Amino acid sequence: MSHTNLTVYGATWCSDCKRAKKFLGEQRVHYNWVDVEQDAEGLALVERVNNGKRIIPTIVFDDDSMLVEPSNAELAAKLGLQTRAKMDYYDLICIGGGPTSLTAALYAAREGLDVLVIERSGLGGQAGVTERLDNFPGFPEGIGGAEFADRLTQQARRFGVELLQAQEVTSLRSEEESHYVATADGNVYGARAVLIATGSTYKRLGVPGEDELIGAGVHFCATCDGPFYKGRHVAVIGGGNSAGEESLFLTRFADKVTILARGDKLTASKVVIDKIAETPKVEVRYNTEVTALHGESKLSGISIRNRATGAAEDLEPAGVFVFIGLTPNSGWLPPEIARDEYGFVLTSPTLETGVPGIFAAGDVRKGSTKQAASAAGEGATVALMVREYLKGV
């Protein structure tokens, strides 16, 4: 089922509206946003379809159908996403839907294995919400992140991989030579081998005002939220590749992008730094840390401090995008899956964890290089390791 003209009616303070927008962004579903506090016609529509009540979010689809305060499961069903597997037992279950997992899945499926991929958000992982991949082999002109994710997903399906979306894995346990994965909807699936490829999540600033303003001026995905800032000034917090690349992408919409870097130089690649230097819309402020975010229902300003001089200052960007590093999505794993002090999964040279038959690869694994090309390479490698393991059980 395809929906290309969704409209979400809501308000910036509405937590359910933020959740619905985040879900649609993760699934790479384009939508129009109407703030009913700023749009009288939008408010009138919400009241009309809800018998005079102001119930948000109200989501109107391109076939004129609508959902009111939908759960993620209801949205998934409306969008035609598969959230329940066809079988109870597989040769391999891949947890996560990024390039590592999808590559491993299609390689394993080509070997004739029954493979299930379970992804809690949108297939393609962080690559799917990256504006452009310029360093993936075979694409001399680069390729859009969403297109790359779609191609990889289609390729996996062509080889018979079963794909679940909008479904979160809540636990993993082992019994003899089988492993069992439980999902948030109460289902349990078994497999002879399991791949943990759950990736990482962007770190937060941990400053006052952040939690209250996420989705209301504070963002972690330029692809998802950049278009809301056409002709305005935005700030990007961070100094690495992600911060640099997303800043360049934001210049497509914003009139000015200010990068706030804690260090005295950017740590991004030379190619990214050179592009920033050539882009007049981008300003870089070094030795700068954010100390607070301000606003009642939406961002109104930020407080910053110069780490070299101690001087404090307030800025008033329309939006803030945070790219300061990654935290591995490994907190749900059982204790027997060993991790380092930061939470990254420890593996042997064959990418197997300390539990036989359970493997880890990609951004969640200690030692991963966290690039799309290396993620796909690890996916191919771990598929071969799984094949060798299954020959012996």
pLDDT tens sequence across 52-106:
999 999 999 988 999 999 988 889 889 988 889 999 999 999 999 999 999 999 9
- pLDDT at 154 exceeding the cut of 90: yes
The reported pLDDT for the residue numbered 2 is 55
The DSSP call for residue 240 is S
Cβ-based neighbour number of residue 154 at 10 Å: 9
Cβ-based neighbour number of residue 51 at 10 Å: 7
The reported pLDDT for the residue numbered 201 is 82
SS3 61: coil
Average pLDDT rounded to a whole number, residues 186-211:
92
- pLDDT at 116 exceeding the cut of 70: yes
Query: Of the ranges 219-223, 262-266, 381-385, which one carries the lowest mean pLDDT score?
Result: 219-223
| 132 bridge partner residues | 144
CA 324, CA 364: separation in Å to the nearest integer? Answer: 17
State percent of the chain over pLDDT 90: 68
Give the residue from 35, 24, 57 showing the smallest Cα distance to 49. Answer: 57
The reported pLDDT for the residue numbered 215 is 75
Angle between helices 99-110 and 145-158 (to 10 degrees): 20
Average pLDDT rounded to a whole number, residues 346-361:
97
pTM of the model: 0.75
Confidence of residue 1 (pLDDT cuts 50, 70, 90): very low
CA 270, CA 276: separation in Å to the nearest integer? Answer: 10
